[in-house]
């Protein structure tokens, strides 16, 4: 708990002077507002004397107190916004940056819907928690201190009753709020499940349409609402328990206080002014007691949300940057895999098992093999999406661990197996590969990737929106756009991961011609099931169960009739 609160206050106290003024403003405002019942007492005590001068002074005091409370309230609210808006922004930026830096392992095992919910609820909780702590909880505390002070002056027994009332309220609140938060956390899990189903459906709507699974998806969502409804009722009923318990304590406390005050007043132990003071404080205090209960509830509720939000900062980055990284602008591209071993978390078998492979500067290497043989894993290890179990990967004789991840990945241009595009324009997605690209650079890259003619045929041309994850484009169009993006980035090392798997034969040939021209002089790793893609490679490396089993050119491997590559080639010829 304290860790989360420390994180919260770390953000909101960055402007220490302004924050101090906010707290001071809330204390002064609450103190002035709580002074009103005493002024009413003065009026009642002085009216019988019919001294206009004294009554005018009291009236002026009343005006000064209320105007002062208004000024300090507006000022503290404004300064609170100054503190809060900057703090909420800084928190979201810091958490976003940290999540961006987290490894593939984190993101591959995280529900997008749940992650978005954590950001959304956490940011909302940040605002609510600030309000509850500073403007509600602190205000009630100041009012309580002022009230008890005045009650002690007129009758200690009345002060004791109010203290007991407050104590009982706090004890009941502790248990009731704890139950409410537990119910809320249970409900939040079901809400996240519902959100995850909806998000999953929206992202994969095309698959839903292709398999006519609309009714099935509706049923899946409807089933998730069974537990959702049950937990929501449990959560809602916890509020009714708060209403009943606190309402009972409050009414009994008001009755006891008024009974004692009336008793002492009719027995001439309190003045009429004292009675008015007590009634005035009851009118202020007990509504604030309810504020205290709901502020405590909001703090507890928001704590649950903000704990999950700040908890993202506790997620560890497993693949760490070096303390003293090597800083260079480019590499020549000599790559050396030295007896590397790697196992994915949760798996017992090695994905890579003792690979030794040296790729010369400017050489093109094709990695082929069955699915799961380790082709794509080698590329991910080269870019340090994961760290090795053992062994070493060097570029130009430098261990890749000596580069920052950002620097290392800046050397490499990738066309992934399944290109994911931003929900933005074609120009934005192509230009993403380079800082501040010129329109002419974007068009040149598009021409090399054989997608310029298609783009010019669109109504909005390069300003055409591609939709969520590029859904407005075909698979081949997305891949050509991704190729253009890679070309524009002008990398030192190029990785093609199944980059032409969704292209027709004509487009594949045009892409291959453009690709071989664009990669001239660059070290290139081609990963492909379609072996026609890799025929021109300087060397073909065949992988099986995370090991290199064959190496050679297309021609030399085909000459070995019993080679695994020859088997793959003949099988693809038969399948057409």
All structural domains of the chain with their residue ranges: 2-314, 335-575
For 404, the enclosing helix (H) or strand (E) is none
CATH fold label, 2-314: ABC transporter transmembrane region fold (1.20.1560)
Asked whether the predicted pLDDT for residue 511 surpasses 70, the reply is no
Residue 505 is predicted with a pLDDT of 67
Mean of pLDDT values over 73-90:
92
Structural tokens at position 205:
């709507």
401 DSSP assignment: G
Work out the angle at residue 235's Cα, subtended by the Cα atoms of residues 229 and 239, and round it to the nearest 5 degrees: 135
**DSSP strand pairing (398-399 vs 412-415):** unpaired
Residue 28 is predicted with a pLDDT of 93
Q: Is 550 helix (H, G, I), strand (E, B) or coil?
A: strand
Mean of pLDDT values over 301-327:
83
Q: Which range, 187-196, 302-311, 399-408, is most confident?
A: 399-408
Residue 277 is predicted with a pLDDT of 87
Q: How many other CB atoms are there within 10 angstroms of residue 243's CB atom?
A: 12
Residue 501 is predicted with a pLDDT of 55
Domain 335-575, CATH: 3.40.50.300
Mean of pLDDT values over 465-493:
82
- From edge to edge, which strands make up the β-sheet containing 523-527? 412-415, 493-497, 523-527, 364-369, 539-544, 547-552
CA distance 486 to 495: 9
Residue 316 is predicted with a pLDDT of 84
Percent of the chain with pLDDT over 70: 94
CA distance 130 to 88: 10
Asked whether the predicted pLDDT for residue 1 surpasses 70, the reply is no
CA distances from 1 to 175, 308, 444 (A): 17, 11, 56
Q: Which range, 113-127, 285-299, 402-416, is most confident?
A: 402-416
Asked whether the predicted pLDDT for residue 334 surpasses 60, the reply is yes
Mean of pLDDT values over 14-37:
91
- From edge to edge, which strands make up the β-sheet containing 352-359? 352-359, 335-342, 390-395, 398-399
CA proximity to 448, closest of 412, 415, 407: 415
Residue 504 is predicted with a pLDDT of 65
Percent of the chain with pLDDT over 90: 16
CA distance 122 to 101: 19
Give the tens place of pLDDT for each residue, 530-571: 777 788 888 999 998 889 998 988 888 888 878 888 888 787
Identify whether the C-beta of residue 197 lies closer than 8 Å to the C-beta of residue 111.
no
């Amino acid at each position: 708990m304290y860790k989360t609160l420390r994180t919260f206050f770390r953000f909101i106290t960055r402007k220490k002077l302004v924050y101090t003024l906010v707290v001071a403003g809330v204390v002064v405002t609450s103190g002035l507002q709580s002074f009103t019942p005493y002024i009413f007492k003065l009026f009642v005590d002085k009216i019988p004397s019919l001294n206009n001068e004294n009554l005018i002074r009291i009236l002026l005091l009343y005006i000064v107190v209320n105007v002062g409370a208004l000024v300090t309230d507006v000022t503290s609210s404004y300064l609170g916004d100054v503190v809060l808006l900057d703090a909420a922004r800084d928190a979201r930026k810091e958490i976003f940056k940290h999540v961006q830096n987290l490894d593939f392992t984190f993101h591959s095992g995280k529900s997008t819907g749940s992650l978005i919910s954590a950001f959304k609820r956490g940011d909302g909780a940040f605002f609510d928690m600030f309000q509850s702590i500073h403007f509600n909880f602190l205000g009630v505390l100041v009012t309580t201190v002022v009230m008890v002070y005045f009650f002690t002056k007129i009758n200690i027994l009345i002060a004791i009753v109010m203290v007991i009332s407050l104590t009982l309220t706090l004890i009941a609140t502790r248990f009731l709020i704890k139950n409410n938060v537990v119910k809320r956390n249970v409900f939040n899990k079901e809400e996240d499940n519902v959100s995850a189903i909806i998000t999953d459906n929206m992202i994969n709507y095309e698959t839903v349409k292709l398999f006519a699974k609309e009714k099935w998806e509706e049923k899946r969502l409807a089933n998730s609402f069974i537990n959702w409804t049950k937990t929501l009722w449990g959560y809602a009923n916890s509020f009714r328990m708060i209403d009943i318990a606190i309402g009972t304590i409050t009414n009994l406390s008001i009755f006891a206080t008024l009974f004692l005050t009336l008793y002492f007043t009719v027995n001439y132990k309190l003045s009429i002014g004292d009675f008015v003071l007590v009634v005035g404080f009851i009118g202020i205090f007990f509504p604030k007691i309810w504020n205290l209960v709901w502020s405590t509830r909001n703090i507890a509720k928001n704590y649950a949300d903000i704990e999950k939000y700040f908890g993202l900062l506790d997620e560890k980055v497993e693949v760490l940057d070096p303390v003293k990284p090597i800083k260079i602008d480019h590499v020549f591209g000599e790559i050396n895999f030295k007896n590397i071993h790697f196992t994915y978390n949760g798996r017992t078998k090695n994905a890579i098992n003792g690979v030794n492979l040296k790729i010369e500067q400017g050489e093109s290497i094709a990695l082929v093999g069955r699915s799961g043989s380790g082709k794509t894993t080698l590329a991910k290890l080269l870019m340090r999406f994961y760290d090795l179990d053992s062994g070493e990967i060097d570029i130009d004789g430098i261990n890749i661990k000596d580069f920052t991840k950002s620097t290392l990945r800046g050397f490499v241009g990738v066309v992934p197996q399944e290109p994911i595009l931003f929900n933005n324009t074609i120009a934005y997605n192509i230009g993403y590969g380079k800082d501040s690209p010129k329109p002419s650079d974007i068009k040149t890259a598009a021409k090399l990737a054989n997608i310029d003619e298609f783009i010019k045929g669109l109504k909005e041309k390069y300003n055409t929106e591609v939709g969520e994850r590029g859904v407005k484009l075909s698979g081949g169009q997305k891949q050509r756009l991704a190729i253009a993006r890679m070309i524009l980035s002008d990398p030192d090392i190029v990785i093609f991961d199944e980059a032409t798997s969704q292209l027709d034969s004509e487009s594949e040939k045009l892409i291959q011609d453009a690709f071989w021209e664009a990669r001239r002089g660059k070290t290139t790793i081609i990963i492909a099931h379609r072996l026609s893609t890799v025929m021109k490679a300087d060397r073909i490396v065949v992988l099986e169960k995370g090991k290199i089993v064959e190496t050679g050119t297309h021609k030399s491997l085909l000459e070995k009739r019993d080679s695994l590559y020859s088997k793959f080639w003949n099988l693809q010829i038969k399948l057409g």
